[in-house]
Amino acid sequence: MIKFQDKAIKADDYCYKSVITGDKMNKIIEKIKMRYLIIFLFVGLFGLSGCENATDVNFFSVQDDVELGKGLEQEIRLNQQEYPIYDSYQHTQYVQEILNEIIKSSEINYADVFEYKITLIDNDEVVNAFAAPGGYIYVYTGLLKFLDNEATLAGIIAHEVSHAERRHATQRMTKSYGISIMLGLILGENPNMWEDLAANLFSGLTLLYNSREDEYEADEYSFRYLRSTKWYAGGILFFFYKANDNREASFLEELFLTHPLPTNRIEQMEALVDGGNIPDPSESNLFSDRYAQFKATLK
């Protein structure tokens, strides 16, 4: 049985250090105030009892996801020290074309709404990728060099697409802040509440930290998205196996912070593959040779 070690994660261990200008902060605060005022009125009048699963409620609109993604994209590009961009059209386009094929899946809901843009981060010490709301997907060069075939990269990209499509970031923000913000608004408590929330909109803690439930769902949808593509739909499993073999390596610490990898994630993916009636992995759906050529050109 393959096992991942559970990692104890502290909130302060992974926090995106961004500086939000005063004007941007004020605009974000005002938008969120209006959003929660409307939500509070709705909840007060109708309640949430009619929802099939109140835990899936998302107080943010799809357009909010778009705006949050744009804001985070701007902040990342302003922070070149922490997020140096790998400025190569050739390599970025290689990964972008994989993304473009994935979002053709009939199960994708927001292909015409979200940006779905790849940005490569020039850091070989980090083996990771993450998605911001609105379809902005960031891939570290360390991850690209860690992988062994194109299908595995496609599986990881599809996993990040799943986070955007399932709107995990704003759903987690709703769970974390929804009730407390509305109560604080009603009672007039904590005047700094809005400022705290606005600052956290651009923090890795809020937007990039994935729960195990998020990861299970993103894995499942990664498999579902890839079934309609040329790639082996269980490609992400090869990443899981290799990460497990290197689980004590320091270069995987950030991966485990943002993407928890308990044992049953592997078991879930293996079950999907076993019951999915998909072709066995081979060069014709892994594209290992082509990926090796791509990796060889990375500086």
The predicted-structure confidence for 44-103, as pLDDT tens digits, reads as follows 433 433 334 445 677 778 988 898 888 888 888 888 988 999 999 999 999 999 999 999
Beta pairing class for 136-140 and 129-132: antiparallel
Q: What is the mean pLDDT of residues 232-251?
A: 83
Residue carrying the six token digits 């075939």: 149
The lowest-confidence range among 4-8, 138-142, 163-167 is 4-8
Residue 138 pLDDT exceeds 60: yes
The lowest-confidence range among 79-93, 156-170, 183-197, 259-273 is 183-197
- pLDDT for residue 222: 97
Residue 40 pLDDT exceeds 50: no
Residue 268 pLDDT exceeds 80: yes
Q: What is the mean pLDDT of residues 170-195?
A: 60
Where does 166-211 have alpha helices with state H?
Answer: 168-187, 193-200, 204-207
Q: What is the pLDDT confidence band of residue 41, given thresholds at 50, 70 and 90?
A: very low
Bridge partners (DSSP) listed for residue 115? none
The model's pTM: 0.77
Cα separation, 38 vs 46, in Å, equals 12
- pLDDT for residue 13: 35
Give the whole-number percent of the chain exceeding pLDDT 90: 45
Q: What is the mean pLDDT of residues 102-107?
A: 97
- pLDDT for residue 4: 36
Write b or e for each residue in 263-298: b if 16 or more Cβ atoms lie within 10 A of its Cβ, otherwise e.
eebbebbeebbeeeebeebeeebbbbeebeebeeee
Q: What is the mean pLDDT of residues 257-265?
A: 65
- pLDDT for residue 32: 55
Give the residue from 194, 211, 207, 228 showing the smallest Cα distance to 262.
211
Residue carrying the six token digits 């759906």: 285
Residue 112 pLDDT exceeds 70: yes
Please give the structure tokens belonging to residue 248.
């004590």
Cα separation, 164 vs 227, in Å, equals 19
Q: What is the pLDDT confidence band of residue 195, given thresholds at 50, 70 and 90?
A: low
Q: What is the mean pLDDT of residues 98-117?
A: 97
Residue carrying the six token digits 């902040």: 75
